[in-house]
Amino acid sequence: MFSVRQKREIAEKVQSILRETGHPELPAGEIEFRLEVHGAEPWSWADIRNNGAVTSPGVNPHNEAQDSRP
């Protein structure tokens, strides 16, 4: 559903939003999370995790082709 670049960008923003809460139970380092996004069709979905958890992301050519930014 999203390109690798888009997933990494979303993950950075989620990390920042979580960090901004200042919640005392969050770790000092990277916050681990998993975000499940459902698209308009049953086959359209994305699983986004914190960037540190995905060191070698798989690439889906269809998703990459839909990314309007290089």
pLDDT at 38: 98
Calculate what percentage of the chain has a pLDDT beyond 70.
99
Q: Shortest CA distance to 1 belongs to which of 42, 32, 30? A: 42
Phi, psi dihedrals of residue 14, rounded to the nearest 5°: -65, -45
On whether the pTM is more than 0.85, the answer is yes
Sign of torsion over alpha carbons 46, 49, 50, 55: negative
